[in-house]
């Protein structure tokens, strides 16, 4: 055996890959991918057309889709809604106002109400066992 020629049992490739064969395989792979994409596109168009034909016609008496869904709805701007609700609650808790003007019932600020309760206490009901 000569030193320049590898033996048949050398354990590695003795020649390079043929570039023509490699390019042919790459070209075939690209062609298969392009054909698959076009076939899928046509297939989905055919199915969409078939589904459109089979869908029932919408009655003109049917409700329009622009109607709002029933309550409760999702909050789009939750932070703004929370700030607005807290502002309204603080307005009720921190100001004077009429609850029922005809009956003379008023609303007082919560801080003032707590001061009055601390100073005067709450009225208690007479116990049911004792009659006046």
Beta strands in the chain (DSSP E): 97-100, 105-107
Structure confidence at residue 4 (pLDDT): 59
Token pair of 66 as six digits: 């622009």
User: What pLDDT does 123 receive?
Assistant: 80
Longest dimension (CA), the chain: 133
Q: CA-CA distances (angstroms) from residue 68 to 24, 39, 40, 75?
A: 59, 41, 37, 13
pLDDT per position in the chain (132 positions), as tens?
455 565 667 677 778 888 899 999 999 999 999 999 999 999 999 999 999 899 888 777 776 666 777 888 888 899 999 999 999 999 999 999 999 999 999 999 999 999 999 998 888 777 776 555
Name the 3-class secondary structure at 72: coil
Look up residue 98 and give its two tokens: 């009429």
Q: What are phi and psi of 32, to 5 degrees?
A: -65, -40
Name the strand (E) or helix (H) holding 119: helix 110-120
For 15, the 3-state DSSP assignment is: coil
Cα–Cα nearest to 114, from 83, 93, 92, 99: 93
């Amino acid at each position: 055996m000569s030193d320049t020629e590898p033996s048949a049992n050398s354990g590695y490739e003795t020649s390079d890959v043929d570039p023509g064969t490699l390019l042919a395989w790459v070209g075939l792979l690209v062609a298969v991918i392009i054909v698959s994409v076009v076939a899928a596109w046509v297939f989905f168009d055919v199915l969409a057309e078939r589904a459109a034909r089979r869908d029932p016609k919408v009655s003109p008496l049917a409700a329009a889709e622009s109607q709002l869904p029933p309550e409760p709805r999702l909050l789009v701007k939750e932070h703004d809604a929370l700030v607005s609700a807290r502002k309204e609650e603080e307005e009720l808790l921190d100001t004077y106002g009429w609850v029922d003007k005809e009956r003379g019932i008023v609303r007082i600020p919560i801080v003032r109400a707590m001061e009055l309760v601390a100073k005067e206490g709450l009225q208690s009901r007479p116990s049911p066992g004792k009659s006046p």
